[in-house]
């Protein structure tokens, strides 16, 4: 049986999405017989042209254009090509798909997503709560909504500190005027509240993993970023085995009953044996193929679980495996672009 799997986030340029890596992972599990349906928002998304990874691409309306247009487009993909499962890889898609996952399921389009309640835990204002539950530390932080609170918070936390939006953006402030300026910038762009957070020092390490929603792991891999781009995207990394960090990730799955993929961004202070939880992403990171490359195919396991196929047990991976991202180029006919642009599908 072939499985038609929709994968979004197939943008693969300077700020790469997770989609191409997820699609590659699915293709590598031959038992899935995956037909990858690229779900793009722009006819220029490179994944739509990578026909050795993406079998057919469709342009979707943005989730912000509303439920009906978005869901109907998925139904159209199912009817005209096939769509048994959707792997959303972009933050903006998640609230809508989480809300309508049952309806999609009834229409024969499966998903594997966290609950609405779990999704809320990713908020930066809930980090301390999650960190405490999984045995991590968290930088001291205060949620503020006014200048008065800002001044008091700076006094309490000291400088330098991070000024963060609830979901996006984070700036480092070394002085009070800098903190005020960052606060204004975030409020103008993302609104209230704003979070002020103590700066912690250590190694930037991340964990990719997935839970089955019943407290069991579908695979967990820890890495350290060695080199990042100006946009903060990893281009060279190495697998690590920091027990405290990996145990925390396992607890994230078992204690919270997390369902679906996730990435935990951490700062690890090896001297003090502290792992600070900096961010929770309720989806795959752009580098998720790294885990597949070291033998832990998390994306395939999610699909296996969703379709009742046996899960591949990954007890171990090797530390010290290197990840190198590179750019590539592809030459094709203009017709392919025209077709995507005019007809909305490849």
Partner 1 sequence: MQRIAQLAINEEGFVFDPVQGESFTVNQTGLLIIKALKEGKSQEEIIRELVNRFEVDEDKARIDLVDFIEKLRSLNLL
Residues that bind partner 1 (CB under 8 A): 203, 205, 223-224, 226, 238-243, 268, 270-271, 319-320
C-alpha angle 290-296-299 in degrees, rounded to nearest 5: 80
Bin 170: left if φ > 0, else alpha if -120 < ψ < 50, else beta. beta
Minimal distance, residue 250 CB to partner 1, in Å: 17
Token representation of residue 337: 């672009």
Is residue 193 reached through a cis peptide bond, with omega within 30 degrees of 0 on the bond before it? yes
Distance CA 308, CA 148 (A): 55
Tokens of 44: 């220029």
Nearer to partner 1, 218 or 275 (CB): 275
Question: Looking at beta carbons only, is 160 or 232 nearer to partner 1?
Answer: 232
Q: How many whole angstroms separate alpha carbon 118 and alpha carbon 258?
A: 7
| Coil/strand/helix, residue 269 | strand
The answer to whether the beta carbons of residues 148 and 285 sit under 8 Å apart is no
Task: Output the smallest distance, CB 203 to partner 1, in A.
Answer: 6
Nearest-approach distance from CB 276 to partner 1, in angstroms: 15
Residue with smaller CB distance to partner 1, 128 or 204: 204
Least Å distance between CB 275 and partner 1? 11
User: By C-beta, is 123 or 202 nearer to partner 1?
Assistant: 202
User: CB of residue 225 vs partner 1: minimum separation in angstroms?
Assistant: 9
Secondary structure tally for the chain: helices H, strands E: 12, 14
Q: How far apart are CA 7 and CA 52, in angstroms?
A: 14
C-beta of 94 vs 245, nearer to partner 1: 245
Residue placing its CB nearer to partner 1 in the complex, 44 or 228: 228
Structure tokens at 105: 């399921």
> 9 — alpha (psi -120 to 50), left (phi > 0) or beta?
left
Nearest-angstrom CA–CA distance, 284 and 71:
22
Strand partners, 38: 7, 57
In this complex, which beta carbon is closest to partner 1, that of residue 159 or of residue 226? 226
**Minimum distance between the CB of residue 238 and partner 1, rounded to whole angstroms?**
5
Task: Work out how close the CB of 315 gets to partner 1 at its nearest, in angstroms, rounded to a whole number.
Answer: 16
Q: Which two tokens stand for residue 36?
A: 């990858």
């Amino acid at each position: 049986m072939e499985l038609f799997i929709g994968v979004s986030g197939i943008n693969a340029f300077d700020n790469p999405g997770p989609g191409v890596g997820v699609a590659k992972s699915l293709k590598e599990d031959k038992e899935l017989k995956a037909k990858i349906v690229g779900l793009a928002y722009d006819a220029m998304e490179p994944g739509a042209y990578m026909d050795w990874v993406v079998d057919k691409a469709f342009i979707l309306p943005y989730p912000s254009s509303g439920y009906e247009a978005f869901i109907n487009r998925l139904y159209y993909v199912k009817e005209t090509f096939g769509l048994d499962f959707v792997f959303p890889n972009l933050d903006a898609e998640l609230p809508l798909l989480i809300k309508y996952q049952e309806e999609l399921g009834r229409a024969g389009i499966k998903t594997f997503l966290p609950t609405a309640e779990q999704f809320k835990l990713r908020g930066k204002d809930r980090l301390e709560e999650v960190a405490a539950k999984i045995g991590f530390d968290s930088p001291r932080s205060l949620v503020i909504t006014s200048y008065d609170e800002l001044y008091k918070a700076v006094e309490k936390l000291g400088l330098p500190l991070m000024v963060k939006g609830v979901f996006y953006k984070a700036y480092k402030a070394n002085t009070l005027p800098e903190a005020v300026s960052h606060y204004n910038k975030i409020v103008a762009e993302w609104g209230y509240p704003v979070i002020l957070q103590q700066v912690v020092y250590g190694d930037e390490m991340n964990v990719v993993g997935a839970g089955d929603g019943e407290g069991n792991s579908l695979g967990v891999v820890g890495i350290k970023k060695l080199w990042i781009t100006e946009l903060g995207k990893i281009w060279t990394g190495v697998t690590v085995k920091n027990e405290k960090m990996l145990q925390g990730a396992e607890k994230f799955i078992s204690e919270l009953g997390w369902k679906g993929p996730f990435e935990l961004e951490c700062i690890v202070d090896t001297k003090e044996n502290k792992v600070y939880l900096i961010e929770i992403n309720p989806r795959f990171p752009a580098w998720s193929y790294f885990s597949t490359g070291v033998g832990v195919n998390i994306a395939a396991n999610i699909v296996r679980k969703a379709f009742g196929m046996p899960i591949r047990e990954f007890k171990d991976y090797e530390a010290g495996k290197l990840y190198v991202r590179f750019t590539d180029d592809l030459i094709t006919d203009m017709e392919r672009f025209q077709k995507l642009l005019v007809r909305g599908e490849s």
